[in-house]
Amino acid sequence: MSDTPRPDDTPPGLYDDAGNARFFADPAMDRFVAVVMNMAQELWVQEERLLALEEARGGETVDRDARLKAFIDRMFAPIRGA
C-alpha cells in the first residue's frame, strides 16, 4: 500500500509506515475499531444461528434485515452524534 500514489495536496500524517490510514492520535485505537467491528460481526453470526434454531423449532420466520438493523443500531448507539 505504501507505493500507492496519493493526491498532490495530501496532508502529512495520514498514514502509518505501511501506508495504512490513521485517524486517531493513538494508532492502537484504529486497530481497536476494527476489533470491535469484527466482534460485532461474529456476534451477529451467532444471532443468526439462534434465529435459525428458533425458526426450526416452530417459531415464526424472522425478518433478518429488520432484526439486523435493530442489532446494529443498538450496538453502535454510543458513537452516534459524535
58, amino acid identity: G
> Contacts with another protein in 34-53 (CB under 8 A)?
34, 37-38, 40-41, 44-45, 47-49, 52
The x, y and z cell numbers of residue 20, run together, are: 495504512
The answer to whether 38 touches 44, Cβ cutoff 8 Å, is no
In terms of CB distance, is 60 or 63 closer to another protein?
A: 63
Binding-site ranges for another protein (CB under 8 A): 1, 3-11, 14, 21, 23-24, 29-30, 33-34, 37-38, 40-41, 44-45, 47-49, 52, 64-65, 68-69, 71-73, 76, 79-82
